[in-house]
Amino acid sequence: MAQQIVRCTHIERELSCFLEQFNPDGIFLLTDENTDKLCFSRIQSVTKLQFAKKIVIAAGDENKNVETISKVWQFLTENGASRKSLLINLGGGMVTDLGGFAAASFKRGIPFINIPTTLLGAVDAAVGGKTGINFNGLKNEIGAFAPAVAVFIDASFFQTLDHANLLSGYAEMLKHGLLGEVREVGEVGGLTDVLGFDFDDVDYKKLNDLLFESVMVKERIVLEDPTEQGIRKALNLGHTFGHAFESLSYQRKRPVLHGYAVAYGLVCELYLSFLHLNFDKKLLLQIARFVKENYGKFAFDCNDYPQLVELMRHDKKNENGQVNFTLMHAVGVVEINQTATVEEIFETLDFFREY
Ligand SMILES: NC(=O)c1ccc[n+]([C@@H]2O[C@H](COP(=O)([O-])OP(=O)(O)OC[C@H]3O[C@@H](n4cnc5c(N)ncnc54)[C@H](O)[C@@H]3O)[C@@H](O)[C@H]2O)c1
Ligand SMILES: [Zn+2]
């Protein structure tokens, strides 16, 4: 089940090396219209890609659907893809989710690799083996657990990414920083490093180092529990409140990016962790400040509380009708399958609004 995670310094070189060794009988490259324009040129010179057949799909999550995937299957069929062919997914989470599932389902599964080009894709979607498409208005309704053969991590792709998408992905890095091991000062990748990152003057080399450490936190958790029977739920930290905020923002027609909702959700769930498990208040306030400074506030008032609780009740992570949270005792010490009373949820929302 293990995926090879390749930390790139010169992606053409690392990719060439991999393709020489892997030696597929055909190479297919999936991009969306943006990554085709902005990212393909970075790997175009790889010799083995000269004969690759390229499929370009429309960008955006609304196209992560059965119509698009059937075009991909069609293309693979018409161009003679076999079980020994390789699909390369070059794009954000939309491309790696859809391409991963196209590969997992074509002829019962052909190998694929991911080259994530968004920060959210790199830190989350491209790693961990969850692939799929939206169906019937439901997110990721159809899909499969199917790990990529390899994932190539190169932060220099993010230079063309807008600030909001960069921050959106960074929220998942903050989550991994909380879930990961406590690090000594000077060791790369600890929470202190994550909280110290300067978004006004982005250092992509430093981002690449932090990102690689962050990806390894997810990879370690996924290896322990690939199909989310237990500890993989740790990765849901921030996502119970986060999904409720995200849904509310869509209902209001003022959508926030997924990672922004997760950043707000992390503050809330660390407050709940403080209530239930004695999570350090000073660290909670430090993270709340980081989120407020970089992500701003999510506007709602106490009239929205019942609606938010209702949204949490409908979260697909729930079991036995109870709202399910992942909480923390301390950095690196997680407690899954936690619940909270409506009063505690309201108190948490008060804290979030007032901080
Ligand atoms: N499989 C998983 O475990 C998992 C985890 C998290 C998210 N996801 C999925 O990931 C998707 C969201 O990922 P995303 O935010 O990467 O979305 P995305 O792939 O739609 O990318 C966002 C936008 O950025 C553009 N883009 C991509 N790379 C770029 C670059 N380098 N420069 C400029 N623009 C670029 C894309 O064309 C798109 O318009 C959702 O479908 C979500 O369900 C999956
Ligand atoms: Zn997420």
Q: Hey, whose CA ends up nearest to atom 21 of ligand 1? A: 92
Q: 61: which residues sit within 8 A by CB, 6+ positions away? A: 94, 134
User: Which amino acid is residue 58, in one-letter code?
Assistant: A
Per-residue pLDDT reduced to its tens digit, 72-88: 999 999 999 999 999 99
Please report which ligand is nearest the Cα atom of 263.
Answer: 2
Ligand closest to CA 260: 2
Nearest-CA residue for ligand 1 atom 22 is 92
Report CA torsion sign: 91, 92, 97, 98.
negative
Tokens of 83: 């079980």
Give the Å distance between the CA of 121 and the centre of ligand 1: 6
Does ligand 1 have an atom closer than 6 angstroms to the CB of 106?
no
The pTM for the full model equals 0.95
For the Cβ of 92 lying below 6 angstroms from any atom of ligand 1, the answer is yes
Q: Which residue's entry shows tokens 């909702």?
A: 261
Q: Is the CB of 164 under 6 A from ligand 1?
A: no
CA distance 342 to 355: 20
CA–CA dist 233, 6 (Å, integer): 25
- Contacts with 161 (C-beta within 8 Å, 6 or more apart), sequence order: 117, 118, 119
Cα angle value 235/1/16 (rounded, 5°): 105
Q: What single string gives the DSSP state of each residue in 152-215?
A: EE-GGGGGGS-HHHHHHHHHHHHHHHHHS----TTSTTSHHHHHT--TTS--HHHHHHHHHHHH
Q: Which helix (H) or strand (E) holds 104?
A: helix 93-105
CB 114 within 8 A of CB 100: yes
Q: What are all long-range contacts of 283-287, with beta carbons under 8 Å and residues at least 24 apart?
A: 283/331, 285/355, 286/195, 287/174, 287/178, 287/195
Q: Is the CB of 42 under 6 A from ligand 1?
A: no
Query: Each residue of 317-331: pLDDT tens digit?
Result: 777 778 999 999 999
By alpha-carbon position, which residue is closest to atom 27 of ligand 1?
92
Ligand closest to 119 (CA) is 1
Instruction: Give the pLDDT of residue 299.
Output: 93
From ligand 2's centre to the CA of 93, what distance in Å? 11
Q: Report how far ligand 2's centroid is from the alpha carbon of 341 (Å).
A: 24
Residue 134 in contact with ligand 1 by CB distance below 6 A:
no
Ligand nearest to the CA of 157: 1
The most distant pair of C-alpha atoms in the chain lies apart, rounded to whole Å, by: 61
Task: Outline where 296-341 has alpha helix (H).
Answer: 305-313
Question: Residue 60 CA: which ligand 1 atom is closest?
Answer: 20
pLDDT by residue for the chain (355 residues), tens only, comes to: 578 999 999 999 999 999 999 999 999 999 999 999 999 999 999 999 999 999 999 999 999 999 999 999 999 999 999 999 999 999 999 999 999 999 999 999 999 999 999 999 999 999 999 999 999 988 899 999 999 999 999 999 999 999 999 999 999 999 999 999 877 767 777 898 999 999 999 999 999 999 999 999 999 999 999 998 999 999 999 999 999 999 999 999 999 999 999 999 999 999 999 999 999 999 999 999 999 999 999 999 999 999 999 999 988 777 777 899 999 999 999 999 999 999 999 999 999 999 8
Q: What is the pLDDT of residue 190?
A: 84
DSSP H or E run through 326: strand 325-330
> What does DSSP say about strands 112-116 and 86-91: parallel, antiparallel, or unpaired?
parallel
Closest listed residue to residue 263, CA positions, set 195, 323, 318: 195
Smallest CA separation from ligand 1 atom 34, residue? 161
- Mean per-residue pLDDT over the chain, rounded: 95
Q: Based on the number of CB atoms within 10 Å of its own CB, is 318 exposed (0-12), middle (13-18) or buried (19 or more)?
A: middle
Residue 166 Cβ < 6 Å to ligand 1: no
